[in-house]
Structure 1
Amino acid sequence: MPTIFLTGATGYIGGHTLQLITAQHPEWSITALIRSATQAKIIQEKFPLVRVVVGCFEDVDIVAKCAAEADVVLNLASSHLPSSTHIIANMPSSPENTTTPTFIHLSSLATLQNHPHGYGRPSSLIYNDNDQRTLANQFCSSSAEHAIRLAGERHGVETVTVCMGLVYGMGRGAVRKRGTTVPELIGAVVGRGRGFVVGEGRNVMSCIHIDDVASALLTLTDHALNTQRASSPATPNPNPPSTFYFLSSPFSISMLSLIHLITTALSTSPSNTIHALPSEIEHLPPNHSTQIHPWAPLLWGSNCVGEASLLHELGWRANGPGLLDVLEEMVGFEVGVLGARGEDVWCAWKRDVKARREEVGVCF
């Protein structure tokens, strides 16, 4: 029976992926590391066949035991370098083991976001995972991705790093239902009372629905297990590979186009707490956008475009709903969250963040 150790089960992508895996493969033995007893109870109730272990990454003995039992580790929690290398070091890769275990790491959007010509401007850089050397070189020597690759080589563990573009759609996990980039942008537009972009807003991102992210992770897990089953006990792989994959659909969008879609969806929202927004989109210099969100230039002013060539070779395709198909639901959810918090959802324009005309001019 395949044994899977999964981290990040309470997260947006981790929870959605756990939902898919348990539905598709109830025969797999899945262990999930959960930080608190309260969240562990929620996960156990929703996924009764999952073995829930209460602990955090700092509980090294607990983590080591879970790792030692795993054929595949799905590291879907926020990047935590010490725990990633600790898990790899404890995976069953001794000479007596006849198969090579696999560590699948979900990288964040921020690791590949780029702005070579300034925030809010497009880039000619297009990632393609057929070019492994170029993609691997995008990660600096101090990154978690670089350390994971080296740890895999050192301990005889195959490592898979999964990169992705802009993820959208509502999660079906037990705890967290939303991501970061689009939901935070919706909330910022609601709070500001009008649409805005960083600089010109011509930066572009590849888009992918969360269903497709989860199905890609399932495809990679299946592939790892099939490879392990097909390997010869007499000739274990002495040099396990380190592979980088990029997740994307054929659809990319500029931030300016995304903002137009969001403001339209907000203006037509059935919520009686939202007034129609101005049609004019405001262009904010990066230093002003940080007053709305400290990561605004990176979140909403950078580029990340790529092609999922290697995953296509494994038979995976992006078949999830389009952004337009789910944006209304996402907007409705964010408005509901803000209202539940008792926050102002009347879209009052926060004039204290307004840029002067001459400052806006430098965006172009």
Structure 2
Amino acid sequence: MAPKFFLTGVTGYIGGSVFARLASTHPEYEITVLLRSVPDGFKEKYPNVKIVKGDFDSADIITAAAENADIVIHAGNSDHVAANAAILAGLSKSKTPTYLLHLSGTGTVADFTSPDFVPGAPNPKIWSDVSDLPTISTFPLSFLHRPVDSKILSAASTLGGGGNIRTAIVAPPAVYGRGSGPRVTQSFAIPFFVEDVQKFGGRTFYIGDGANEAAVAHIDDVAAVFVKLAEIAVAGGEGADWNEKGYYFVPVHQPGITWKSVAAAVGKSLKARGIIKNAEPISVGPEDTDKMIDGSQIGLYIYGSNSKIRADRATTLLGLEAKAPGFFEVLEEDLDDALNDKQRDSAQMRALTGTK
């Protein structure tokens, strides 16, 4: 009997790419997706994929679909508490092993929550998803992603289900590269940065010294972690860590890149395209974050904080590494998409800003 999957976030940037890779790699899987509306051409391209109509507030629909699935991949609004609770409620009813692969992010380890945080200043800390997991698992619930992540890490011990629930959190850093999903295919940070440049007189910018470093991962490498974990789950779960140890950073080419280097590269490209007149980035202060990313403080996180990582669990346990092109190798393509395609992954934005 084919394994039964239930996926959310299929029309988003990350969730859509995970879905597309899973469906193309394993056409033998029985896949059901949650959709608020059906993208044009979806049924024709994926005739064997089942659709349940609803959104992240459709608790009864989500619970029923999760109860009927062997494996759930929740890659939509990762901080939607009610949707996560509905998924866990459905999985907990199963009398056989069930799996949840949940999208989170490295915003949890970003230093903008630290009392010693200086926007734009460097931080030598590199976070490991193995050696630092005891610390990450005890972060306050006020930290980004922690209210939902904490429930998932403890789900097997707190929800019962005969010990059958096995969970894994996949936490990518900022994601770049062209996606492959059925609707949103452009990255997150670069499109917003291009828009924000116009708010600073047509100049690319960094905060403070711009020496802060954050990891970045290609969308294909993110999807690879999800698909690998899905394959292991289908095979019975051996060879992966689950539940309290089921926390995976996504492999990256290097622990971090400075935002100043991003601003310089974007400035050079936009000037060459005739969009701005001066390629040299400028330094702005943290007080200017009200101009960034629709006025949310997420600008301080995206442009000014540090979140360097090392994906020890995915590399040593799953045998994965960063294989897709590097950030600067595909920057021109990401800029093409940002300038020509005005779609945004609104679920990801809501998750970052804590809004509905």
Query: What TM bracket, shorter-length normalisation?
Result: 0.7 to 0.9
Q: Distance in 2 between matches of 1:43 and 1:139?
A: 41
Are residues 1:102 and 2:99 paired? yes
Contact 2:208 2:284 in 1 (8 A): yes
- The equivalent of 1:23 in structure 2 is 24
- The equivalent of 2:335 in structure 1 is 331
Name the amino acid aligned to 2:286. P
Which stretches of structure 1, 4 residues or more, deviate above 4 A after TM superposition?
A: 239-242
After superposition, the C-alpha distances for 1:278-325 in whole angstroms (9 at most, x for unaligned) are 243211111113223322111211111111111112111110011122
- The equivalent of 1:352 in structure 2 is none
SS, match of residue 62 in structure 2: helix
Q: Distance in 2 between matches of 1:265 and 1:84?
A: 40
Contact 1:136 1:244 in 2 (8 A): no
Are residues 1:13 and 2:14 paired? yes
After superposition, the C-alpha distances for 1:123-143 in whole angstroms (9 at most, x for unaligned) are 222111122312323462761
**Aligned-residue offset at 1:241:** 4.6
Are residues 1:208 and 2:207 paired? no
**Aligned-residue offset at 1:60:** 2.4
**Aligned-residue offset at 1:161:** 1.1
- The equivalent of 2:70 in structure 1 is 71
- The equivalent of 1:54 in structure 2 is 53
Q: Distance in 2 between matches of 1:183 and 1:109?
A: 20
After superposition, the C-alpha distances for 1:153-187 in whole angstroms (9 at most, x for unaligned) are 22231121111212101111111112322221122
Identity of aligned residues (%): 29
Gap regions ≥5 residues in structure 1: 231-238, 341-364
Query: Structure 1 residues 191, 49: CA separation in 2 closer, same or farther (over 3 Å shift)?
Result: farther
- The equivalent of 1:175 in structure 2 is 183
What TM-score comes out, normalization by structure 2 length? Answer: 0.84
SS, match of residue 158 in structure 1: strand
Name the amino acid aligned to 1:227. G
After superposition, the C-alpha distances for 1:79-114 in whole angstroms (9 at most, x for unaligned) are 2112212211211654x42xx211111013433322
Are residues 1:2 and 2:6 paired? no
Contact 2:154 2:243 in 1 (8 A): no
SS, match of residue 179 in structure 2: coil
- The equivalent of 2:347 in structure 1 is none
Q: Distance in 1 between matches of 2:243 and 2:284?
A: 47
Query: Structure 1 residues 59, 181: CA separation in 2 closer, same or farther (over 3 Å shift)?
Result: same
**Aligned-residue offset at 1:240:** 5.5
Q: 2:303 aligns with which of 274, 283, 300?
A: 300
**Aligned-residue offset at 1:43:** 3.1
Please report the RMSD computed on the Cα atoms of aligned residues, expressed in angstroms: 2.3
**Aligned-residue offset at 1:66:** 0.7
Q: 1:114 aligns with which of 111, 116, 120?
A: 111
- The equivalent of 1:317 in structure 2 is 321
Q: Distance in 1 between matches of 2:318 and 2:188?
A: 29
Once the two structures are superposed, the pairs formed by residues 132-281 of structure 1 within 5 Å of their partners are 132-138=133-139, 140=141, 143-155=147-159, 156=163, 157-190=165-198, 192=200, 193-228=202-237, 241-251=244-254, 252-269=256-273, 274-281=274-281
After superposition, the C-alpha distances for 1:198-230 in whole angstroms (9 at most, x for unaligned) are 121111011110010011111111122223489
Gap regions ≥5 residues in structure 2: 344-356
Query: Structure 1 residues 154, 160: CA separation in 2 closer, same or farther (over 3 Å shift)?
Result: same
Q: Which has the larger radius of gyration?
A: 1
Query: Structure 1 residues 139, 175: CA separation in 2 closer, same or farther (over 3 Å shift)?
Result: farther
- The equivalent of 2:346 in structure 1 is none
Name the amino acid aligned to 1:18. F
Name the amino acid aligned to 1:114. D
**Aligned-residue offset at 1:49:** 2.0
After superposition, the C-alpha distances for 1:44-78 in whole angstroms (9 at most, x for unaligned) are 23322211111123222221221011111101011
Are residues 1:82 and 2:82 paired? yes
SS, match of residue 53 in structure 1: strand
